Amino acid sequence: MTLIDLANPTRFLALSARVLPWLAAATIILLTIGLYQSALAPDDYQQGATVKIMFIHVPNAWLSMFVWGVMSVASLGTLVWRHPLADVAAKAAAPIGASFTFLALLTGSLWGRPMWGTYWEWDARLTSVLILFLMYLGLMALWRAVEDPSRAARAAAVLTLVGALNLPIIKFSVDWWNTLHQPASVMRMGGSTLDKAFLIPLLVMAVAFTLLFVTLHLAAMRNEILRRRVRSLQMMQASRVAFSSEMGTGSRQENASTGAA
Amino acid sequence: MTALSALIRRDIRIALRVGGGALIGVLFFLTVVVLMPFAVGPDLALLSRLGPAILWLGALLASLLTLDRLFMSDHEDGSLDLIAMSRTPLELACAAKALAHWLAAGLPLIVATPVLGLLLNLDMVATGAVALTLLAGTPALTFTGMIGAALAVTLHRGGLLMAVLVLPLSIPVLIFGVAASQAAITGPSSFGAPFSILCALSLVSLVIGPFAAAASLKHGLD
Helix H or strand E segment including A172: helix A166-176
Residue B179: band (very low, low, confident or very high) from pLDDT cuts 50, 70, 90: confident
Which amino acid, residue B74? D
Q: Which chain A residues are within 8 Å of B172, Cβ to Cβ?
A: 169
Q: Which chain B residues are within 8 Å of A131, Cβ to Cβ?
A: 168, 171
Q: Could you tell me if B212 lies within 8 Å of chain A, comparing CB atoms? A: yes
Q: Which chain B residues are within 8 Å of A165, Cβ to Cβ?
A: 204, 208
The complex scores an ipTM of 0.71
For residue A66, the model assigns a pLDDT of 92
For residue A5, the model assigns a pLDDT of 63
For residue A219, the model assigns a pLDDT of 93
Q: Could you tell me if B219 lies within 8 Å of chain A, comparing CB atoms? A: yes
- pLDDT exceeds 80 at position B133: yes
- pLDDT exceeds 70 at position B49: yes
Splitting chain A (261 residues) into consecutive groups of 10 residues, what average pLDDT does each group show?
67 87 92 87 72 86 92 90 86 94 90 79 79 89 81 86 82 62 60 71 90 93 90 88 71 45 38
Q: How far is B162 from chain A (nearest CA, A)?
A: 9
Query: Cα dihedral angle (A116, A118, A120, A121), rounded to 10 degrees?
Result: -60
The closest CB to that of B165, out of A79, A159, A161, belongs to A159
d(CA A236, CA A120): 51
d(CA B198, CA B155): 31
How many residues are given for chain B? 222
The closest CB to that of B147, out of A138, A162, A169, belongs to A162
B215 and A158 in contact by Cβ < 8 A? yes
- Compute the count of residue pairs across chains A and B with CB atoms less than 8 Å apart: 59
B168 and A162 in contact by Cβ < 8 A? no
Q: Are B99 and B91 in contact (CB under 8 A)?
A: no
DSSP 8-state code for residue B18:
T
Across chain B, mean pLDDT equals 85
d(CA B198, CA A197): 43
> What is the arithmetic mean of pLDDT over B62-66?
85
Q: Could you tell me if A162 lies within 8 Å of chain B, comparing CB atoms? A: yes
d(CA A34, CA A208): 7
For residue A187, the model assigns a pLDDT of 57
Q: Are A9 and A84 in contact (CB under 8 A)?
A: yes
pTM of model > 0.80: no
Please calculate the CA angle A183-A106-B176 and round it to the nearest 5 degrees: 50
DSSP 8-state code for residue A44:
B
B202-216 per-position pLDDT tens digit: 999 999 999 999 988
Q: Where are the domains of chain A?
A: 26-41+48-178+191-245
Q: How far is A237 from chain B (nearest CA, A)?
A: 26
